[in-house]
Amino acid sequence: MEQAKRCGDCGCLEGELHEPGCDLEKCPFCGGQLISCGCAERMFYPDFSYCTDDPFCGLPEEVYKHGLSEEQWNEWIDKLFEAGPVPYIEYPNMCACCGELWPDMFKVPDEEWDFYIEIGERDKMLCRKCYDRIKELIDGVIDKC
């Protein structure tokens, strides 16, 4: 059996709980990064969103500037304890086409990604070689039209 991996931030072993405040700890509600997912804010302010035209992201100005109240924070902590913390398990990034583990990440404009990658696959990771191959295949068909 392969040796357990360690969290790259707090150093806990797979199967163990992250240290409090670890950057890699997952939220038990959304699966995102616990320290920045926004679930605590949405618990009290359902319209909260990082992506909004509202300068305060759907929060009261006081909460936006100073955070949740102590009472709200304690209620959120209680809810986290009820749900239970998420133990660390390393799930490798891999290309959805070829299966390459830990491919280098790259960035393309959203419009380009949406054009070349079919709708049900857009949330997956691709290596650059597979992405370029998909582009060549699609561009080859478009050129023939």
Does 98 lie in the same domain as 82? no
- Say which residue the tokens 């304890």 belong to: 81
Condensed to tens digits (0 to 9), the pLDDT of residues 25-46 reads 999 999 999 999 999 999 999 9
SS3 13: strand
Q: Can you give the C-alpha Rg of the chain in angstroms?
A: 20
Residues 115, 126: one domain? yes
Mean pLDDT, range 4-25, rounded to an integer: 94
**82 and 145 both lie in a single domain:** no
**Same domain (yes/no): 33, 84:** yes
Looking at the 3D structure of the chain, how many domains does it have? 2
Give the domain range for residue 38.
1-91
Closest residue by Cα to residue 7 from 86, 100, 106: 86
Query: DSSP characters for 28-52?
Result: TTTSSBTTTS-HHHHHH-TT--SSS
Cα distance between the two ends of the chain: 53
